[in-house]
Amino acid sequence: MIPMMRVEPITLSQVVALIFAGQGDKSLRQYAEELSVSPMYLSDVANGKREPGKKLLAPLGIRKTRSVTVHYQREFTLSGKRKRGGQ
């Protein structure tokens, strides 16, 4: 039997908090250099202007995934009768 890894979804704000937990007393410039990213990129991530990429996520063991939620909705005309087909 192959062991399964447990996957727990976390929010973007939690990811950003994890990224910056390692900053400590370092300046943004020093921390960016340590992470091998530009200070502007790190600042954009901190301010929610950009999403963190693989370079920031991989060392934390985080992988970005996307999920889709499908919603179904019945369409009705003004008379309350259900529309036929896609009309």
Position 80 scores a pLDDT of 62
Residue 69 belongs to some domain of the structure: yes
pTM here?
Answer: 0.63
Residue 4 belongs to some domain of the structure: no
Beta strands in 11-81 (DSSP E): none
Check which CATH number belongs to the domain holding 53 and give it: 1.10.260
| Integer Cα distance of 43 and 19 in angstroms | 12
Phi–psi pair at 59, nearest 5 degrees: -60, -20
Residue 2 belongs to some domain of the structure: no
- Boundaries of domain holding 68: 9-87
Residue 3 belongs to some domain of the structure: no
Domains of the chain: total: 1
Mean pLDDT by 10 residues, the chain (87 residues): 70 90 94 93 93 88 82 72 59
